[in-house]
């Protein structure tokens, strides 16, 4: 499910996206991180640091 709040100019001010399972969410965030001005996430499995 995707939710977004917009400002008066129509720009997204708060995106909320729910993706199960977690690997899919990380994959999508990596693809759009530059648009959001964020660092890409890295999926770490048990035991990784």
Residue 31: per-residue pLDDT:
94
- Per-residue model confidence as pLDDT tens for the chain (49 residues): 688 999 999 999 998 877 678 888 899 999 999 999 999 999 988 776 6
Q: How far apart are CA 33 and CA 15, in angstroms?
A: 12
**Which helix (H) or strand (E) covers residue 9, if one does?**
none
Contact 22, 30 (CB under 8 A): no
Q: Which of 35, 33, 45 is nearest to 12 (CA)?
A: 35
The domain limits of the chain are 15-40
CB 40 within 8 A of CB 28: no
At 17 the pLDDT is: 79
Residues 40 and 29 sit within 8 Å (Cβ to Cβ): yes
């Amino acid at each position: 499910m995707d939710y977004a709040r917009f400002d008066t100019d129509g720009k997204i001010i708060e995106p909320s996206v729910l993706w199960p399972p977690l690997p899919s969410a990380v994959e999508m965030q990596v693809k759009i991180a530059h648009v959001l001005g964020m660092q890409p996430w890295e999926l770490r499995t048990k035991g990784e640091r």
